[in-house]
Every structure is written in C-alpha cells, then in structure tokens.
Amino acid sequence: MVRFRSYIHGVRGSELPWIILLSLVPIPALRIFSVLGAFLRRSNLLEKFALNLNHMALAEMTDYSDGLLRRVLKRTKVIAVVGVSMNPVRPSYYVARYLALKGYRVLPVNPGHAGATLFGETVCASLSDIETPVDMVDIFRRSEAVPPIVDEALEAFPDLQTIWMQIGVTHAGAAAKAEARGVTVIQNRCPKIEYQRLFGELRMGGFATGIISSKL
C-alpha cells in the first residue's frame, strides 16, 4: 500500500482515475491489453483507422453529382493549372497533358519554370501573369496554399467559372469565398479521372463507373 500511495502521489490529478481503474483490473487482463496495445502500435492500425475516417469525411464533404461534374467539364474551354510540373511522371504533368489532349487549352502556372514552354503554352509565374480569360483554375498545391491562390484567381479572372482542387486538396474557407462570388468549387477530385469516368473511357477499360449507358 505504501508503494501504491507513493506512486499516486507522483501522478497528475487527471491521471488518478485511470490509475485507480487499472489497479482493479486482473493481471492477466492487463497483459492482454499490453500485447494488444503493442500490436496496434507496430501495425499502425490506429493511424490507418484515423486516416480512413478522414478520407470518409472528405468524400462526404466533396460529394458532387455527376450532372454537375459533367456540366463543368463541358462548359470549360481554358484551364489554368497551378503547380504544374515539367516532370512527365508527376500527376500534375500528366493530368494537364491529358486535358490538353482532350481539347482544353491548358495554361501552366509554376514560378519555378516561368518562361519555359509546356503543352504549347508559356509557363507563367502566377495567375496574374495570364493575359487571356480563364474558365477554370485547377490547383495542384497543398490545402494550406489554397486561399491566396483563390484570392488571386478571383481578382485576375472576373468571369471565372470554376475552382477545381485536386484529390486531397480542400479548403472550406476559400471554397465559401469563391462560391459567394458565384464560382463553382470542386474539391478533392481529379478532372482527368472524372472526365474518363463520365465520358466512357474508364468503362471501355472494364471499370465500374456507376454510369448506366447503352454505349460501350
């Protein structure tokens, strides 16, 4: 009892209920909990579970109808891609390249490659350097970098129709600001994947797209 009291004397008040509770648990049960805890730490199951919950929350927050996505992709003609890479193996490169091959005019934006030529267009350092009207801004940047990009896009393009944030990129505040200006906002989606899904390319590859059609 002396040892137990001295141990309790050394813990924080918030820990005391847990110490008392654990003192009532049989030793075999404590061993089971210890082994289970070690297994969870090694396998990172708790982290994976939390990550899955995060993805589920993002999916719910960014649930758009196929009709909306189809309208956005059909009405868009000119796309400014922020954060595009010159490296052909990077997603920002092959997504932008795919969109260019589908007939969109793709304007690359990356200050690190300003002045270079990509997809037949000169890479701009910022959205403000683009002199032509833009229908959609596609963002390949981290979520925390989104607000200034949205602010710049709204200022540079009075007739902007869509802000599109790539998979894993979301920002509720920036989205609300753009939507208040009448701009459609798509978050946590990829225009390449949605184009392929909605216009039959994935279906031809045998993937289940959720689209019912008589066409192959």
Domains of the chain (ranges, CATH numbers): 2-43 (no CATH), 65-204 (3.40.50.720)
Residue 80's DSSP bridge partners are 107, 137
User: What percentage of the chain has pLDDT greater than the value 70?
Assistant: 64
In one-letter notation, the amino acid at residue 45 is L
d(CA 114, CA 91): 19
Query: Between 151 and 3, whose confidence is greater?
Result: 151
Relative to beta strand 105-109, strand 78-82 is: parallel
d(CA 168, CA 58): 8
Give 27-43 pLDDT, tens digit per residue.
565 456 565 555 555 55
Query: Between 86 and 207, whose confidence is greater?
Result: 86
User: pLDDT-derived band of residue 200, with 50, 70 and 90 as boundaries?
Assistant: confident
- Mean pLDDT over 138-153 rounds to 98
Q: Is the pTM of this model over 0.75?
A: no
Hey, how many other C-beta atoms are within 10 angstroms of the C-beta on 79? 21
Structure token digits, residue 87 = 């490296």
Specify the pLDDT at position 62.
65
Q: Using CB atoms within 10 A of its CB, is residue 209 exposed (0-12), middle (13-18) or buried (19+)?
A: middle
Q: Which of 6-15, 81-90, 158-167, 194-203 has the lowest mean pLDDT?
A: 6-15
- Mean pLDDT over 206-212 rounds to 48
Q: Would you say the C-alpha torsion 175, 176, 179, 180 has a positive or negative sign?
A: negative
